Amino acid sequence: MKETRGKSGQPRKVLIVDDHALVSEGIAQLIGAKGGLTVCGTAATAHEGFDLVGKTKPDLVIVDLSLPGKSGLELIKDVHAAYPEVAILALSMHEESLYAERALRAGARGYLMKSEGGQKLLEGIQRVLEGGIFVSNSVATRVLERFSGRRATPTLSPVESLSDREFEVFLLIGRGLGTRQIADQLHLSIKTVEAYRGSLKEKLKLASGPELVHYAISWQQSQAVPSA
């Protein structure tokens, strides 16, 4: 794989935003061993990450979608709006079929599952730094069909109407987590999670909590298709 140095010959700067120190350290070591790249900082929250973007002026930000408090998707939107020249690569434990299109709409130029490994991560970094898009063939096909009009929007799932945070809560409900567990994982109050449950039932036209759980599980199973 060729080096990814900038036009000035200086290494391209990468900022890592992930709340797991071991993950950040592993990514930093991987990047440090690759010629043409250097890690200019790490952050554990969206707020820290946004501040560091302004201070370090990275060429690329790697954003974990599952951040405490403010989500990675919200951080992607903020960085893209304030620093449109900065490339963003979304990193997630979630299946690409669940989150990739949302990440791209938010402003990311690539989406990679954490299970893919270091070589794929380096490929993704190089692709987005070159101005390309890094997703699987199946996601690329879906996006192109939607924008070309070949995939009609009226047939989309009502899940598409959910906000990014509602969608996060919806996924956790589908994994069998209760209100307190979701609150702990997303660093939200129980009252806030209960409010999200209420808005989910309203938007998805469901009458009860058990119906919401069943719908969330069924929807996720229907989306779990192999990537091309």
The whole-chain average pLDDT of the chain stands at 87
% the chain with pLDDT above 70? 88
Confidence of residue 57 (pLDDT cuts 50, 70, 90): very high
Question: What number of CA atoms fall less than 13 Å from residue 105's CA on the CB side?
Answer: 12
Give residue-wise pLDDT tens across range 127-163. 999 999 998 777 777 767 766 665 555 455 788 889 8
Long-range contacts of 167-173 (CB under 8 A, 24+ apart): 167/102, 168/71, 169/193, 169/196, 169/197, 169/200, 170/200, 170/216, 170/219, 171/94, 171/98, 171/216, 171/220, 173/197, 173/200, 173/212, 173/213, 173/216
12-145 in CATH: which number? 3.40.50.2300
157-223 in CATH: which number? 1.10.10.10
Annotated domain spans of the chain: 12-145, 157-223
- State the pLDDT at residue 226: 43
Span 93-108, average pLDDT: 85
Task: Note whether 12-145 and 157-223 share their fold.
Answer: no
Q: What's this model's pTM, rounded to 2 decimal places?
A: 0.78
